[in-house]
Amino acid sequence: MSDIGKVRLRIPSSIKAGDVVQVRALVIHPMERIERDAQGKIILKNYNYINKVIVTYLGKTVATFDTTQSVAENPFFSFTFKATDPGQLKVQFLDTTGGRYEGTADITFS
C-alpha cells in the first residue's frame, strides 16, 4: 500500500474566465471499516480513514467535506468552483492518523 495518499485531480482541458468548473479529485486510501470480533463487538482502535477534505482556490476555501467510514475505499470527491482568476486549486485530504495528502492544479484560461 505504498500508493496511499496518491492524489489525482481531473479538471476540464479548457476553462474560460467566469466558468463554473467541475472537478473530480481521487485519492488512494484504504478507508478502513469498523472491525468486529467473534462476539460481534466493535474493536476499538484508531481506524485509518479520511475525515476531512479541504478544497481551496486562490487561497480561499471553496468546499469542505467532513467524511466518515461510510465513504468508499479509494474515494473520489467532485465539486465545483467558479474560475474567476488564474491561480492554484488545491485539494487536501486529512486522515485520522495525521496523514495529510494534497494535490494541486494550476488553473489557466485558454
Q: Residue 34 interacts with other proteins (CB under 8 A)?
A: yes
* 51 binds other proteins, rule: CB under 8 A: yes
The DSSP line for 15-26 is --TT-EEEEEEE
Name residues contacting other proteins, limited to 52-71 (CB under 8 A).
57, 60-71
Q: Pick from 36, 86, 88, 104 the residue near other proteins by CB under 8 A.
A: 36
- CB 11, CB 21: distance < 8 Å: yes
Phi-psi region for residue 10, left (φ > 0), alpha (ψ -120 to 50) or beta?
beta
**Cross-strand bridge partners of residue 93:** 53, 101
Out of 75, 89, 91, 107, the only residue in the binding site for other proteins (CB under 8 A) is: 75
Contacting residues toward other proteins, per CB under 8 A? 20-22, 24, 33-36, 42, 46, 51, 57, 60-82, 84, 96
